[in-house]
């Protein structure tokens, strides 16, 4: 109850103070000053708007009537930037009240050379002037040439390739680079189409990736060329490195029938880094240490430095223990091994 009375008292007191202010001599003087200030401001604004000014506006550009067997590979500019000069009142009308209609280009009205159409300013200037006041001066139009390139259905499928660099962080590695789709359809004039062998992405720079990454990447824009689709999904699977050791036997190859290789030790420990997801897939059978008879003869020593003849995909940072083995070429009877 007390709070309601208190609020009512404050409300009535505030209303009384407002009324006293509005009907006071100072209030009347303030409103008279404000009235004449607004009138003076209005006359100043009208006088100012009566002067000439320059302004820039944009007018949309549209291409229509394209046949079904034609693909526009480079679109014309989306808008014209028009610079005009007129009185401020006219320019204010353009800004606040007038909406410009698009400059419409009809495909059948223009003839191209080598699948390229150029429409110069005199050919579309009337479409701009028809929307301007008679008193308005057209100072400039940008661009002054509307250009587009088309293909009459010629296309082919090309692979997607990465443009740029991607790298994993410490102790991680990129197991693959996957594009979806991995190929796109390219439309271009025949002379240009023959030179295109791949669709490259826009430049990508990604460093120290530590988790699988998925990105939508636009394809690099080429003049007169249209890719469908114009962007692809890029997947970068990231795996963490782990270390594994396997024992790989040394095998002699191209030895005469009466000679065999004796290596000490006969097996070498191969330690390497591999992604955790492939740890169980890689075994000793994926590595081969072949020692040829001719190579040993050329050494002129009894120590052989271990080398792998093949390295499985995804394997890196390979180490051998031992790095060198002792060997001898043993003479055996012709019936050895039978």
pLDDT exceeds cutoff 70 at 1:
no
* Confidence at 45, pLDDT banded by 50, 70, 90: low
Q: Which helix (H) or strand (E) segment is 16 a member of?
A: helix 2-22
Token digits for 147?
Answer: 């250009």
pLDDT exceeds cutoff 70 at 269:
yes
CA distance 240 to 268: 26
Q: What is the pLDDT of residues 109-143, one digit of tens each?
A: 888 788 889 988 888 888 888 888 888 888 888 99
Q: What is the arithmetic mean of pLDDT over 37-56?
A: 65
| DSSP states of 17-36 | HHHHHHTSHHHHHHHHHHHH
Asked whether the bond before 265 is cis by omega within 30 degrees of 0, the reply is: yes
pTM of the model: 0.61
At residue 210, the pLDDT reads 84
CA distance 249 to 261: 12
* Confidence at 101, pLDDT banded by 50, 70, 90: confident
At residue 2, the pLDDT reads 47
What are phi and psi for residue 41, nearest 5 degrees? Answer: -65, -40
At residue 162, the pLDDT reads 93
At residue 5, the pLDDT reads 58
At residue 16, the pLDDT reads 64
Share of the chain above pLDDT 90, in %: 22
Give the C-alpha distances (Å, rounded to integers) separating 331 from 94, 181, 261, 292. 103, 60, 9, 16
* Confidence at 87, pLDDT banded by 50, 70, 90: confident
At residue 44, the pLDDT reads 55
pLDDT exceeds cutoff 70 at 43:
no
Q: What is the arithmetic mean of pLDDT over 297-305?
A: 81
At residue 179, the pLDDT reads 93
More confident residue, 173 or 321: 321
Lowest-confidence region among 11-20, 191-200, 237-246, 247-256: 11-20
Which of the 8 DSSP states describes residue 201?
A: B
C-beta of residue 199 within 8 angstroms of C-beta of residue 181:
no
* Confidence at 180, pLDDT banded by 50, 70, 90: very high
CA distance 109 to 146: 13
At residue 247, the pLDDT reads 92
CA distance 86 to 53: 6
- What residues contact 170, with CB distance under 8 A and at least 6 apart? 208
What does pLDDT average to over the chain? 83
Give the C-alpha distances (Å, rounded to integers) separating 83 from 132, 194, 260. 11, 42, 91
């Amino acid at each position: 109850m007390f709070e309601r009375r208190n609020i009512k008292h404050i409300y009535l007191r505030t209303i009384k103070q407002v009324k006293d202010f509005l009907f006071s001599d100072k209030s009347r003087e303030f409103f008279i000053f404000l009235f004449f200030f607004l009138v003076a401001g209005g006359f100043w604004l009208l006088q100012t708007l009566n002067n000439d000014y320059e302004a820039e506006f944009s007018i949309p550009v549209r291409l229509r009537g394209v046949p079904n067997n034609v693909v526009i590979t480079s679109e014309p500019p989306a808008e014209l930037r028009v610079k005009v000069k007129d009185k401020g009142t006219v320019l204010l009308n353009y800004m606040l009240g007038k909406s410009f209609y698009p400059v419409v280009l009809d495909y059948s009205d223009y003839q191209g050379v080598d699948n390229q159409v150029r429409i110069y300013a005199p050919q579309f200037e009337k479409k701009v002037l028809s929307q301007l006041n008679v008193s308005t001066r057209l100072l400039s139009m940008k661009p002054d040439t509307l250009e587009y390139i088309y293909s009459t259905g010629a296309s082919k499928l090309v692979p997607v390739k990465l443009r740029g660099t991607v790298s994993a962080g410490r102790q991680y590695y990129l197991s693959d680079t996957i594009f979806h789709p991995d190929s796109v359809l390219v439309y271009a004039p025949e002379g240009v189409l023959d030179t295109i062998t791949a669709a490259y992405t826009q430049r990508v720079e990604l460093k120290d990736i530590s988790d699988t990454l998925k990105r939508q990447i636009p394809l690099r824009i080429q003049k007169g060329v249209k890719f469908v689709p114009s962007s692809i999904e890029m997947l970068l699977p990231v795996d963490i490195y782990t270390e594994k050791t396997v024992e790989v036997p040394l095998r002699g190859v191209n030895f005469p029938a009466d000679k065999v290789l004796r290596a000490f030790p006969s097996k070498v420990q191969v330690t390497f880094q591999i992604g955790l997801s492939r740890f169980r897939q890689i075994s000793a059978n994926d590595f081969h240490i072949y020692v040829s008879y001719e190579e040993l003869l050329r050494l002129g020593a009894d120590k052989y430095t271990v080398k792998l003849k093949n390295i499985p995909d995804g394997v890196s940072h390979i180490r051998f223990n031992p790095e060198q083995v002792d060997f001898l070429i043993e003479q055996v009877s012709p019936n050895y091994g039978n």
